[in-house]
Structure 1
Amino acid sequence: MLGSNCTQATEFSLVGFTENPATQVTLFLLFLLTYLVTILGNLGMITLIRASPLLHSPMYYFLGNLAFVNLCSSTIITPRMLFGVFLGKKRMAYAGCLAQVFTSTLFLVTECFLLAVMAYDRYVAICQPLLYPLVMSPERCSQLVTWSYLLGLTNGIGQTIGMSSLFFCGSSTINLFFCDISLLILLSTSDTTLSLAILRTASSLLGVPSILVVLASYVAIIPTILSISSAEGKHKAFSTCASHLTIVSIFYGALIFMYLIPRSDTSRGGEKWVAVLYTVVTPMLNPWIYSLRNKEVKEAWRRLRKTKRSWILTLFNFVKAKF
């Protein structure tokens, strides 16, 4: 029972990484650079996919949506973190925290399902190549992406309802750089039954199935790749899967550490850096890993640059002729 003199917290204090001024400046510059690279990389990937007919295929359709989700999820958390690191503004209003819980959990689950859909896409392309145009039709791809966003939206609404039912009295300090629903549940002084039920249900019905889809896809993909007789074909298949596996390993590994492994006092210090992996690092790495290891992306970029130079030259000659 809550005391009669206890009032609901109106703001939360987000704990930063360090109080050392020199280290704070270093972290600010590092996170700022990371965020700028994230914006540049994901916007560039979206633009390239839309502008290049060479990339108008299911795999790049999913990748474009993943870039959009990365752009949104990073913007939700990183700028606010930069204010906290550099300006010392570590307090966040209750409404702002509620909004961050909604948006971050929405895009977190959306990314989980997009990564699962991309794994399924690779499974069909490699293990069932003759059925690929039928199975991954434009209509089916659109449905898979739409369901990914709808499931993310469902999770965001559910987690927000769970947080709105919590009461915070006394300590309002969150030992992280953003409002994380699991830490808010631990911080609450009210009955957390509903919030815990929503969190566990989301983990069981949304998080775990997406991981199982990825695992099942690659259990089937790897033997198929190994059975390819052509060295060039085997290399191409491994190349398209390696980028996805790299991102999946970092992203899901961080989520498992944060939400599925029981917390202990010794792990709390490392939670911030694990959270940095899936909120800051992964959104930055996604477009660069996929582009640097992908010949089609490189070729699309080369053609786009060539077209752009040709267009500029045509415009220059037109202006020169007129004047």
Structure 2
Amino acid sequence: MSAKSQLCLHEFILLGYQEHSVLLFSIFLIIYLAILLGNGLIVAVTTLDPALHTPMYFFLRSLSGLEMCYISVTLPKMMANLATGQRSISLPACAAQMFFLLFLGATECFLLAAMAYDRYLAICLPLHYMTIMSLRVRVGMVVGSFAISLPVQLLQIGMIFSLPFCGPSKIDHFFCDIPPVLSLACADLYANELAVYTENVLFVIVPFGLILASYAHITRTILRMPSSTGRQKAFSTCSAHLTLVSLFYGSAMLVYLRPQTSDSVKVDKVLSLLYTVVIPLCNPLIYTLRNREVKAALSRLLGRKQSFILATG
């Protein structure tokens, strides 16, 4: 194929699901609003309640803010496609969507590792916890999570979208993800596949290994506690984070690290909904329904708001 024909492709078509558009739009709209409301509520409660100005809730606030940004990368475009039937996306828009998806996803990997380290310090080194996990340190960990992923993802996107795309233009997915986009390139993909593998090791395997190491120490410390009440309390502080880690890393590893087969496209579409939609939806549920401090802070916040309304009414 000539160079001219290779350069003629200026947009992709996101197929997604082409049936039941009205029903899917309604479901995704409800989910999107629930995610923004739930995670926004966590940000508000952990910001406004002084009792929650601790390192653990600082990281939870950062995670909730990240989840709201993460879901906004994909879900609004998915809903627009379902509402209008116009499924096209330009190459620059596709590149931007993929960049923010990878950038925020990689940041979340390191942020979850930072939260595991926070739990390790709180349980294994409680006397030194507040000294080590100072405001400067935790701000540095959050900023560092963003800073580490930014240049790598810029390089990754540059490598992918410098490839020639000569058709077909249809992406059998909800959004611009690496595997379906690379499958449309008409060039040698060895360097890109090597870059994807290296990135997976850096942003998935390494943080996951740090999380496992942290919880290995945490488990050993908890099992040595003489009091069953203390052990139960320590486990309860880690259960929400462990649940989120299992869902996020489990789905991400299945998408990016498993061998590609003939059924990979269908499986990837289902798994992508898990880590881009279901997990941000579950985050506020996991951290509020199973956390007495957050529920108590939410009650205090709503109580103050009701008192203010009654006083000004």
Asked if these proteins are the same fold (TM beyond 0.5), I'd say: yes
Indicate the residue corresponding to 1:37 in structure 2: 34
Contact 1:126 1:237 (C-alpha < 8 Å) held by counterparts: yes
1:142 to 139, 142, 157: 139
Offset, 1:4: 4.1
The answer to whether structure 1 residue 107 and structure 2 residue 104 are counterparts is: yes
Offset, 1:143: 0.8
The TM-score with structure 1 as length reference comes to 0.92
Indicate the residue corresponding to 1:128 in structure 2: 125
2:249 to 249, 252, 268: 252
> Which SS does the other structure have where 1:171 is aligned?
coil
Once the two structures are superposed, the pairs formed by residues 1-323 of structure 1 within 5 Å of their partners are 2-8=1-7, 9-17=9-17, 19-20=18-19, 23-316=20-313
Which shows bigger deviation, 230-239 or 72-81?
Answer: 230-239
Offset, 1:158: 1.9
Unaligned runs of 5+ residues in structure 2 are none
Q: Structure 1 CA distance, aligned partners of 2:30 and 2:263?
A: 30
Instruction: Give the share of equivalent positions with the same residue, in percent.
Output: 40
Q: Structure 1 CA distance, aligned partners of 2:205 and 2:277?
A: 22
Q: Structure 1 CA distance, aligned partners of 2:137 and 2:225?
A: 28
Number of residue-to-residue matches in the alignment? 312
> Which SS does the other structure have where 2:6 is aligned?
coil
Unaligned runs of 5+ residues in structure 1 are 317-323
> Which SS does the other structure have where 2:183 is aligned?
helix
> Which SS does the other structure have where 1:170 is aligned?
coil
Contact 1:70 1:283 (C-alpha < 8 Å) held by counterparts: yes
The TM-score with structure 2 as length reference comes to 0.95
Q: Which runs of 4+ in 1 moved over 4 A?
A: none
> Which SS does the other structure have where 2:38 is aligned?
helix
Letter in 1 for 2:165: F
Contact 1:32 1:82 (C-alpha < 8 Å) held by counterparts: yes
> Which SS does the other structure have where 1:92 is aligned?
strand
Contact 1:101 1:156 (C-alpha < 8 Å) held by counterparts: no
Which shows bigger deviation, 120-129 or 153-162?
Answer: 153-162
Q: Structure 2 CA distance, aligned partners of 1:61 and 1:155?
A: 26
Offset, 1:269: 1.2
Q: Structure 1 CA distance, aligned partners of 2:209 and 2:298?
A: 34
Per-residue deviation, residues 71-111 of structure 1 (Å, max 9, x unmatched): 01100100111122333221111111011011111101011
Q: Structure 1 CA distance, aligned partners of 2:224 and 2:147?
A: 38
Offset, 1:5: 4.6
Q: Structure 2 CA distance, aligned partners of 1:49 and 1:272?
A: 34
Letter in 1 for 2:158: I
Letter in 2 for 1:86: A
Aligned CA-pair RMSD: 1.5
Contact 2:106 2:203 (C-alpha < 8 Å) held by counterparts: yes
Contact 1:225 1:237 (C-alpha < 8 Å) held by counterparts: yes
